[in-house]
């Protein structure tokens, strides 16, 4: 069976720089940061924690019917809205007589990770177990459970973004979820591409969401090499910079409409990009976290599958976490396989949204592809000696080539990469 070509026809994105594509790109080119003091976390302390939060986002403005919001965490809400925006841009009609996709040939493959709990929902349950100055855990089953909303769990399962999107769009085809930390988006999209290539669907919604600024996640910030109370965080992350040290946590989501080229053209859609190659690799040596060889092998696989040479790649949208080890191994892999290709990272503007990171960053590279301009990497003022790559710094850079590579990797040594070309 001949492999079908896959194209991207629309996308929606929510990030700390906004929810409108043009506004986000203008902010990037202007050097505006989405990192600041978090307003969404109530605190009695004089200082607020630092991170990146999506501004002016109110789910009730987008989610219909509104009653569904009560079983949607903020992560799910962002995923839902980004999917709706993606379908709108793609001209995909999913209901009524004008519907232009068969529900049975329409699926969802989405990326998500652990979803933090809204603490207010558990407040009464925990109060029920307080005896004087102590907590009586034996009361949890009888006294506390009755004070928790019966549908509480549905707000926090990682598979629920894909479920809500599938239900809303009446997508009855393949539906699954990837939980691969920062690699969640590219893992989910790769699986969606494979579904389309073998002809098991005509259209797939894919992408990812993540919210690392939820208090229950932020409390474990040291696990992400982040300190939300450190004033240095306002000038972090510093991707590939000589003075890089801290990561900064944030939130965001992005959804992409993927279709077989044949189906997209038949319904009159105008593809934005073609998926040229996908790669997933793993570093078998568990003692070398985020191992360079894993990333290098993923990049080499992209070139082999696409038939392109390094000099034909317009830019690399790197993970660029802004920590000492991660940036060094990623830079070494890029240099080894791709040489002097221009490198961009958005984390200096947007921080690390965990499982939502890859989707937001991929969306930004689609903007770069459309505008022909790479914004400078924010907070990178002096490229580190252990990052010998062509980082775009100082001012925006015009590009002529119509291809780019997106990379994400995880602390467990997994690497994910995708190569796209402007249609």
Q: Average per-residue pLDDT in the chain?
A: 94
Return the bridge partners of 383, or none.
241
Q: How far is CA 94 from the centre of its chain?
A: 24
* pLDDT, average across residues 111-116: 95
Among 10, 11, 5, residue whose Cα is nearest residue 271: 10
Question: Could you tell me the two tokens for 267?
Answer: 């319904």
Measured in residues, the chain has a length of 423
Q: Name the strand (E) or helix (H) holding 344.
A: strand 342-344
* pLDDT number for residue 261: 98
Alpha-carbon gap, residue 49 to 380, rounded angstroms:
23
* pLDDT, average across residues 118-127: 88
Alpha helices in 339-375 (DSSP H): 347-350, 357-371
pLDDT in tens, 248-302: 999 999 999 999 999 999 999 999 999 999 999 998 765 555 589 999 999 999 9
Beta-sheet strand order (sheet of 175-178): 175-178, 106-111, 203-211, 251-260, 6-14, 273-282, 414-422, 403-409, 315-317, 342-344, 390-391
Contacts of 407 (CB under 8 A, 6+ apart): 295, 298, 299, 316, 317, 318, 319, 330, 334, 415, 416, 417
Question: To which residue do tokens 């937001």 refer?
Answer: 360
With contact defined as beta carbons under 8 Å apart, do 115 and 73 qualify? yes
Alpha-carbon gap, residue 251 to 78, rounded angstroms:
9
* pLDDT number for residue 142: 82
Other Cβ atoms closer than 10 A to 176: 14
Question: Could you tell me the two tokens for 132?
Answer: 């004087």
Other Cβ atoms closer than 10 A to 266: 12
Percent above pLDDT 90 for the chain: 79
pTM value is: 0.96
* pLDDT, average across residues 202-225: 92
């Amino acid at each position: 069976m001949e492999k079908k070509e896959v194209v991207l026809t629309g996308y929606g994105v929510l990030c700390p720089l906004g929810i409108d594509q043009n506004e986000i790109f203008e902010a990037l080119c202007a050097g505006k940061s989405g990192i600041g003091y978090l307003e969404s976390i109530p605190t009695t302390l004089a200082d607020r924690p630092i991170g990146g939060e999506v501004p002016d986002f109110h789910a009730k403005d987008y989610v219909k019917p509104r009653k569904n919001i009560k079983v949607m965490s903020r992560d799910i809400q962002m995923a839902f809205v980004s999917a709706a925006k993606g379908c709108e841009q793609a001209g995909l009609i999913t209901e009524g007589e004008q519907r232009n996709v068969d529900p049975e040939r329409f699926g969802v493959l989405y990326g998500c990770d652990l979803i933090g709990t809204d603490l207010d929902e558990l407040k009464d349950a925990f109060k029920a177990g307080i005896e004087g100055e102590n907590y009586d855990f034996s009361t949890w089953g009888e006294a506390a459970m009755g004070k928790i909303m019966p549908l509480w769990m549905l707000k926090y399962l990682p598979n629920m973004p894909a479920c809500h999107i599938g239900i809303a769009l009446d997508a009855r085809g393949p539906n699954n979820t990837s939980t691969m930390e920062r690699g969640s988006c590219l893992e989910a999209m790769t699986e969606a591409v494979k579904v389309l290539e073998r002809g098991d669907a005509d259209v797939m919604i894919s992408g990812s969401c993540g919210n690392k600024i939820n208090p229950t996640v932020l409390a474990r910030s040291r696990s992400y090499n982040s300190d939300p109370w450190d004033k240095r965080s306002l000038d972090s992350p510093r991707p590939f910079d000589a003075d890089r040290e801290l990561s900064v946590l944030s939130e965001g989501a992005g959804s992409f409409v993927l279709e077989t080229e044949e189906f997209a053209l038949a319904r009159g859609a105008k593809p934005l990009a073609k998926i040229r190659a996908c790669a997933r690799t793993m570093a078998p040596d568990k003692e070398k976290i985020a191992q360079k060889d894993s990333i290098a092998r993923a990049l080499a696989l992209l070139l082999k599958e696409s038939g392109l040479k390094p000099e034909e790649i317009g830019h690399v949208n790197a993970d660029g976490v802004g920590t000492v080890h991660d940036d060094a191994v990623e830079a070494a892999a890029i240099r080894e396989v791709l040489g002097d290709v221009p490198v961009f990272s958005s984390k200096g503007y947007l921080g690390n949204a965990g499982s939502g990171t890859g989707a937001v960053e991929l969306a930004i590279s689609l903007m770069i592809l459309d505008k022909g301009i790479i914004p400078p990497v924010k907070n990178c003022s002096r490229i580190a000696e252990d990052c010998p790559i062509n980082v775009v710094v100082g001012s925006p850079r015009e590009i002529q080539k119509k291809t780019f590579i997106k990379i994400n990797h995880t602390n467990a040594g997994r690497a994910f990469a995708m190569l796209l070309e402007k249609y």
